[in-house]
Every structure is written in C-alpha cells, then in structure tokens.
Chain A
C-alpha cells in the first residue's frame, strides 16, 4: 500500500503568517493527492483535490502544488479560522486510500 508521510506533525503560527505543509508519497502517484481540513469536533472537508484544484467555496489563500511523490499545501496568510488539523490523502487507487498523519496548526 501507498504510505503518505506528512510534515510537520504540528506547528505554531501567527495570524498573517505564510504556512507550508509537506507530504511525500512512498511511490509516484501523479497528482492524485487531496488536502483535507478538520476542525475540532467537526467532520473533515476537502480543501484541494487533484493536488492543486481548489474545492468550491475554499478561500484562495489556500493552494496546493506537486506531482509524483512530493506535495505541498500552502496558506498564504493564516486567518483565525484556519487553525485546524490538515491531512494529505492519496486517491491513486480505488483499492487503497491512505492518509498522512496530519498537521495540527496552532496559534502562536
């Protein structure tokens, strides 16, 4: 199965900071990566799919890049409502959908 290694596992940042989260796949997966946000006590929601396509309604301060094995999620200017846990997830195969370990973004 495909392993997704995400880093960092947590970070502290201030409102207005630029934040970047990285994810590495254990094999090449083209652009079959999604980025998921989860706030405490809430269901997850997809922010970005296909490595770089913003889901409807997601603010443009979120962006995704990458192809092959290395992917990034960037928040260009962190807002109070962005404090949450973020997961990368691969959808390369229907038989195997795996997640990264998550990155908790906290207020500095």
Chain B
C-alpha cells in the first residue's frame, strides 16, 4: 500500500517561492504507469489540479499556474517536489500530493493527508 506525505514550510511571504516535497513510501516512484500529482484546495473552497509529473520528467501543468510552476522528481529519495514562484495570498491553500494511476481510466488512487500553506507577511 503506497503512502504519500507532504512536507514544507507552513508560512511563506508574499513574492517568495513556495516549495513542497511529497515523500513516497511502500512503492517506487519509478514504477511505470503512474504520474505524481499536486492538487490544492483554497480554504473552504473546491479542488484545483496544479500539475503532474512522470519519473521520466514528463510534466503537465495547469495553464493558469504554468508560468510560476516547476515540478521535479528525485528517484534516489523516492520523492517529488513542487516550486511555485511569486506567491500571493491567493496561493494560500491546503496542498495535497497524489498518485495518478494513468491506466485506461486515470484516477488518483492514493493521496497524502495534505499540508496547509499560508502566504502572509
């Protein structure tokens, strides 16, 4: 049973870079057929897909965030990461990482518990 755990600063200043890591355990991030995904949820609001990455380096980003977003994979540490630059209060959210089973009918079959990131001075 794969498990995911987000980590990173809970508080980021405006205009700075938000950096989060998702540690994967119980399975290899290099397994084919999976993408690794970030999703966020603004306080009291719905869910927003941020982007997905394959261990090979292939990435898909939400067009609304693409200019500020970089995702990466570290296979040696079995983890993947997100960097979002030039953050504002609008980036305050709970950030979830998830495994995307990219088979015939893709879906996120494992999720981390989420981490709250607040953007404030």
Question: Is A bound to B?
Answer: yes
Please provide the chain A residues from 16 to 45 with a CB less than 8 Å away from any CB of chain B in the complex: 31-32, 34, 36, 38, 42-45
Asked if residues A32 and B49 are in contact (CB atoms below 8 Å), the reply is: no
Complex formed: what's the CA distance from A18 to B79 in Å?
A: 42
> A59-108: which have CB < 8 Å to B?
87, 89, 91, 94-102
B55 at the interface (CB under 8 A from A): no
Is the pair B96, A43 in contact by a Cβ cutoff of 8 Å? yes
- Quick check: which of B14-22, B68-76, B80-88, B101-109 contacts chain A, the rest being far away? B101-109
Q: Is the CB of A91 within 8 A of B47?
A: no
Give the size of the chain B interface in residues (CB under 8 angstroms). Answer: 22
Do B46 and A50 touch across chains, with their CB atoms under 8 A apart? no
Q: What residue in chain A is nearest B108 (Cβ atoms)?
A: A46
Interface footprint category on A: 20 to 34
The residue that B105 contacts in the complex, of A38, A42, A53, A95, with Cβ under 8 A, is A53
Partner of B46, one of A51, A95, A102: A102
Evaluate contact between B96 and A44: CB separation under 8 angstroms: yes
Please give 20 more A-B residue pairs, beta carbons under 8 A apart, in addition to A44-B96, A94-B60. Answer: A1-B63, A34-B108, A36-B47, A38-B47, A43-B113, A44-B111, A46-B107, A46-B109, A50-B105, A55-B109, A87-B46, A91-B106, A94-B35, A94-B52, A94-B102, A94-B106, A97-B49, A99-B47, A101-B46, A102-B46
Residues of A within 8 A of B (CB): 1, 31-32, 34, 36, 38, 42-46, 49-51, 53, 55, 87, 89, 91, 94-102
A-B contact pairs, 30 of them (CB 8 A): A1-B63, A32-B106, A34-B105, A34-B107, A38-B47, A42-B113, A43-B96, A43-B112, A44-B39, A44-B96, A46-B108, A49-B105, A50-B105, A50-B107, A51-B105, A87-B47, A89-B47, A91-B105, A91-B106, A91-B107, A94-B60, A94-B102, A94-B106, A97-B37, A97-B49, A98-B49, A99-B47, A101-B46, A102-B46, A102-B47
Chain B residues near A (Cβ < 8 Å): 35, 37, 39, 46-49, 52, 60, 63, 96, 102, 104-109, 111-114
Instruction: Please provide the 5 A-B residue pairs with the shortest distance between their CB atoms, ordered closest to farther.
Output: A50-B105, A49-B107, A97-B49, A91-B106, A43-B111
